[in-house]
Structure 1
Amino acid sequence: MKPVDPFKTLKKFPDGFVWGVATSSFQIEGAAAKDGKGPSIWDTFCRVPGAIADASNGDVACDHYRLWESDLDLIADLGVDAYRFSVSWPRVRPSGSGAWNEQGLDFYEKLVDGLLKRGIKPYLTLNHWDLPDALQQHGGWAHRDTVHRFVEYARGMTKRLGDRITSITTHNEPWVMASLGHESGIFAPGIKDRATAMQVTHHLLLSHGLALQALRADGVRSKLGIVLNLSPMHPASAAPEDIEKTKLEDGRLLRWYMDPLFNGTYPDDVLAYLGEDAPLISAGDMKAISIPMDFLGINYYSRAVISAAGHWDVKKSGLALTDMGWEIYPEGLTELLVRMDRDYNVPPLYVTENGGAFKDRFEDGRVHDAQRTDYIARHIAAVAEAMNQGVQMAGYMVWSLLDNFEWASGYEKRFGIVHVDYETQARTLKDSALWYRDFLRQQKAARAHTSASALSGPVTESATVLTGV
């Protein structure tokens, strides 16, 4: 597949298409023990020797808990339609159950009201990995009781904020929480057991479905959905063993989540592969998991190349790599979106995360990140191509607004379109942020031109293409 070249033309996206930026609570907020916040599993995991590459933690991070107002001004200056953020469960309900923390709730209430004041739509994520550590002490996501605590949490947050929230995501990337947190153990809570990981997957999906049921019963009007991290899987060669391995890995990453959410079943080949490690499923679980959603969020960063022989050297492809060592492969996003639309009865799709970590150059008060600008532009063009092929897309969000705590990598990797000096907490818009801001201004100008043409009479010239870069 030939890569799309965004430097020729970018599609004028339709009215209603949502442009945004995204963050998560643990990665930016800091204030780890302030105003009644309880510890999360990531607060605990950061204290494990060797768990974080630079031995850092999220105690301060980007100090967003203190600097939220100026950060919202920065978001508004970009001209985005939406801000996707997550709530820290232990900040609002420190033990995961029982008493609520009013100071924590007040913070998110101020944040949401601040967004609305600036004309920005709040897109809330309930769980971006920072489970209250108190629940982990009782089994965490491996324990079915946590499913019900999550539903309580979801109902409590929407009771407080639901009248002002545009969109609510239950979970961000359940694969990461299950597989990296409970199978390989390289993310919090650091458990290494495949059977536990598979049960965690089931409980995450079940809590998603039960939460949607409860919120709709409560009359919540926000759009409800889930966010998955997905990648197209390509075999390293045409050898039968590579093709067979690729199908299995596709099942473990993509079909293991998409099939239960949209078909009400786990894929048979993956269940057979798991054997005794397959999750325990109670009557009614799959029906709850497959409750219809209002949207599906997809986080995309790269493809995966699969070899039956083991690890595949990513450098063999000859493609440019990000600082995470991931291939820059924007055509994979088009491939993925088209497949979702073809293989499943999906609701409108969002790209809820997309971005790259790069080693930026800070010179004369400017941050030059041409690689990131190119990455974002090419992936936006890939979304446009998916739309050209008939995929119903609802929006695109850059990951991330700010340089931040990048989980097990600590502060060594920078994904932000805004540079953060972690010593002074000074923010500097990178060249990529300036490009994104200018691109969005052009998009809005094109929309206004189309609207004016429609009011003045028949449009005789196509306005579907905009020079964007």
Structure 2
Amino acid sequence: MTNNTSPSFIWGTATAAFQIEGAWNADGKGPSIWDTFSHTPGNVKNNDNGDVACDHYNRVDEDVALIKNLGVDAYRMSISWTRLLPEGTGQLNQKGADFYNRLFDKLLEKNITPWATLYHWDLPQALQDKGGWTNRDITGWFEEYTDHVCRLYGDRVKNYIIINEPSIITYLGHYLGIFAPGIKSLDAMYASQHHINLVNGLVTQQMRGLLKDTNLGSSYTYFPMYPKDPSKPEDVRAAQIMDETWQRNFADPLFKGVYPANTLPHVEKYIKDGDMKTIVANQDYFGINHYNSNYVRADDSHPLGASNAEAPPGPRTDIGWNISPADLKVALIEIKEKYGNPVVCITENGMCENSEPDAKGVVNDDRRVGYLKDYTDAMFDARDNHGCNLQGYFVWSLMDNFEWAEGYGMRFGIVHMDYQTLKRTPKKSYDWYKSKIAESR
């Protein structure tokens, strides 16, 4: 197996607006659902919020320098919808638009290609008040937002992720209610699934019409779903249900124009003529975010009849996720076999390891180094020995940041963040990744 990459292979790192920007109400920005959710006591550990986060909004030069020094080809970030449109629609907030103009220009000056995520979970609260993803009108709201993005940045930004991790939005946000907007409803989950699929298709068409030479896709959580006890038919069935809920309900419509047979009765009331044809978006790549595999058991206390189960004994990250590089290869081969070997970009992969600086200020996150080595080896194994069509790899994350409902306690960054001083300290994994990229060229 070789780890050498072709000149077209993309090495990158990734962040998201709400997790790093801070400046939550600065320069005309409106509130998002994550502002509302994190400001509600009890929703986030330690009652943390994104008000300051990494203060990236005021430290762009410093962060772009870290990205440049890393040697990546590309930087994946996200645009805050409420910086551009504080109410979700209507009047453009020019100061918010200017922030991203500055960021994109600085990246391009350093020969770093921006990959812009249009939606990384921070829906304008004003639109949530109208039903958010459960309201089919979100198609028009999202198209209005996209029109601004294309007009403002389309001359320079050519790579886009339309929606990040629909399964998190729908399952954690609309079914379990442990992520924003905090809804607990099976119907809301299925409505939001269909409307996300529809938006993805419509916006792909829209951007094709507005921009030239673009690279368009979305990013999906993708990992094997295993039954807790393969000898129990009920656990096998539960794993299938969870696999459909997290993966097939998005990938099957995208590639095949159909929902899984088990899902269709739940979503058909939301489907209108022409929807399924629109959803087959013919995008340029299939983005996957992969961290671990998942184990599932039958659970009659949940409306789905399934819930997550403890993985078998083995190594874990500090957030408790199992470490299994072979399952990244399994996922990539499965995508190849199920969906006709599409171009795949790994838009997130990384490890939670909560190492702190030692007495000399060095962050020896050796377990993260091992994780990244093993997972990138598995990625190249899938490509070189199994014919998987890989476009690139983005490590999550550039820096420690606001880890959603976990607050600031869980660290995924290759740069350490001191949340009191906001000092950035590259970790051992930063140096390893820098060397890995250099050696691959």
TM-score by length of 2: 0.95
Question: Equivalent residue of 2:26, what SS?
Answer: coil
**CA offsets 1:202-254 (integer angstroms, 9 cap, x no match):** 11111111111111122342211111011101122332222222222212211
Question: Equivalent residue of 1:268, what SS?
Answer: coil
Q: CA deviation at 1:311?
A: 5.7
> Using the alignment, how far apart are the partners of 1:313 and 1:140 within structure 2?
30
Query: Where in structure 2 are the equivalents of 1:9-408 lying within 5 Å?
Result: 11-239=3-231, 240-272=233-265, 274=266, 279-308=269-298, 314=310, 317-363=312-358, 364-388=360-384, 389-408=386-405
Q: CA deviation at 1:146?
A: 1.4
Partner amino acid, structure 2, of 1:401: L
> Using the alignment, how far apart are the partners of 1:16 and 1:285 within structure 2?
34
**CA offsets 1:292-323 (integer angstroms, 9 cap, x no match):** 001110000111112226666536x2210111
* Aligned match for 2:436, one of 419, 434, 439: 439
Question: 8 Å contact 2:81–2:88 — kept in the other structure?
Answer: yes
Number of residue equivalences? 432
> Using the alignment, how far apart are the partners of 1:178 and 1:379 within structure 2?
27
> Using the alignment, how far apart are the partners of 1:412 and 1:370 within structure 2?
19
Q: Which residue of 2 aligns with 1:459?
A: none
Question: 8 Å contact 1:404–1:415 — kept in the other structure?
Answer: yes
> Structure 2 stretches of 5 or more lacking a match?
300-305
Q: Which residue of 1 aligns with 2:406?
A: 409
Question: 8 Å contact 2:154–2:211 — kept in the other structure?
Answer: no
* Larger Rg belongs to: 1
Question: Equivalent residue of 1:366, what SS?
Answer: coil
Partner amino acid, structure 1, of 2:353: F
Question: Equivalent residue of 1:292, what SS?
Answer: coil
Q: Report the more deviating stretch, 34-43 or 238-247.
A: 238-247
Q: CA deviation at 1:438?
A: 1.1
Question: Equivalent residue of 2:263, what SS?
Answer: helix
Question: Equivalent residue of 1:378, what SS?
Answer: helix
Q: Report the more deviating stretch, 279-288 or 55-64.
A: 279-288
Question: Equivalent residue of 1:126, what SS?
Answer: strand
Q: CA deviation at 1:419?
A: 0.2
> Using the alignment, how far apart are the partners of 1:344 and 1:154 within structure 2?
28
Q: CA deviation at 1:195?
A: 0.1
Partner amino acid, structure 2, of 1:422: Y
Q: CA deviation at 1:291?
A: 2.0
Q: CA deviation at 1:278?
A: 5.7
> Structure 1 stretches of 5 or more lacking a match?
1-8, 445-469
